[in-house]
Amino acid sequence: MHYRTIGMTGLDVSEIGFGCGGNAGLMVRGNFSEQRAIVERALELGINYFDNAPDYGDGAAEENLGAVLKTLGARPLINSKVEVRVTDLDDIAGHVVRSTEASLRRLGIECLDILQIHNGPRAGPTALEGRGYKTLSLDDFLRPNGALDGLQRILRDGKARHIGFICRGNDAAEVQTLLDTGLFSMVNVSYTLLNPTAGMPCPPGLIVDRDGGDVIGAAARRGTGTAIFSALAGGFLTDESVSGAQRHPLARGIDLSSQATFDAQQKAAQLSFLAQQAGLTLAQAAYRFVLSHPGVTTVLGGFSACHQLEELCDVSGAAPFDADAFSRLDAVWRSNFEVPS
């Protein structure tokens, strides 16, 4: 396992991080024996960074990770988050404090290494509904009693060592404003072979739902680390997905008959040459691409089984693809993944 430093924090994290979210399902839907075995193997392979959130199974992922780590007598670096919902808008800072304290209790620790706001920044007013938390107004981040105020209280009280937030695309200007405060050490961002715009200007011809705005470069210039989530594009950048196979029983299911699934599989298939040329699986090629960006700190893997963990850890330290591979990749992007006739 190779390691990279989170911005200017001095914290060295494994290039492959351990994501505890619901997509892979292990820390939410797995049993204790499965969770312990895979977490223990992850630690053996050198993974030292675990990414969690209260929203993952309504606190189950935090409770389960805490229980496993206690049994193993291990204390890796741990990140968790705060989701701001409509009921929290009148006292965002207080909610940040209360949510963090609840996360610490579930995890069985006294201090998080990194605490992030799970909402991505957006321009204009906040418009949240029910349990929604995907975005939060930039003003609600920065105003008195806002999210940043709450994060600073947590830092002051020694309940987290560093702070960060999530980027969700179409938010480059808002991300830059937050980075310009100089207070944030880690941002989470999606960066994939299907949508590389968080790490570069959008290639001409490529159509994306959400433009990442090269925020990885912006974070690097500010001395802020980046953790990449959904590097496999929700599980589509795998050989199994391209072949139409069902996902692991613990993983979040998809409708194999839907047009959206078919389109994603077709796009992923156009990238199989990267894997074949390098003797890799498609998942390994997707991770190798992400790790080739010098601004990337760690890639958050979602693991349902040990073989997936081992498969992706093998990519750590691999050299970037050669110029020919990147040239072919750029051509695929410029064609907007058009299937050759």
pTM metric for this prediction: 0.96
Amino acid at 92: I
Q: Is the pLDDT of residue 73 over 60?
A: yes
Burial code of 85-109, b = ≥16 C-beta within 10 A, e = fewer? beebeeebbebbbebbeebbebbeb
Please give the Cα distance from 131 to 242 (Å, whole number): 33
> What is the average pLDDT score of the chain?
96
- For residue 323, what are the contacts with CB-CB under 8 A and spacing of at least 6? none
- Give which of 22, 145, 20, 132 is closest to 80, Cα–Cα: 20
Q: Is there a domain that residue 239 lies in?
A: yes
Count how many domains the chain has: 1
* CA-only gyration radius of the chain, Å: 19
Q: Is the pLDDT of residue 26 over 90?
A: yes
Please give the Cα distance from 219 to 295 (Å, whole number): 8
User: According to the model, what pLDDT value does residue 94 have?
Assistant: 98
Residue 233's pLDDT band (cuts 50, 70, 90): very high
Q: Please provide the DSSP assignment of 84-130 as one string.
A: --GGGGGGHHHHHHHHHHHHHHHHT-S-EEEEEESSEEESS-----T
Q: Is there a domain that residue 341 lies in?
A: no
Please give the Cα distance from 62 to 18 (Å, whole number): 13
Residue 148's pLDDT band (cuts 50, 70, 90): very high
User: According to the model, what pLDDT value does residue 251 have?
Assistant: 85
Q: Is there a domain that residue 339 lies in?
A: no
CB 57 within 8 A of CB 24: no
Q: Is there a domain that residue 340 lies in?
A: no
- For residue 255, what are the contacts with CB-CB under 8 A and spacing of at least 6? 261
Task: Look up the CATH number of the domain holding residue 147.
Answer: 3.20.20.100
CB 70 within 8 A of CB 108: yes
User: According to the model, what pLDDT value does residue 168 have?
Assistant: 95
Please give the Cα distance from 106 to 103 (Å, whole number): 5
Mind listing the pLDDT tens digit for each residue in 113-127?
A: 999 999 999 999 988
Residue-range definition of the domain harbouring residue 260: 3-334
Burial of 67 (0-12, 13-18, 19+ CB in 10 A): middle
Q: Is there a domain that residue 29 lies in?
A: yes
Please give the Cα distance from 220 to 291 (Å, whole number): 14
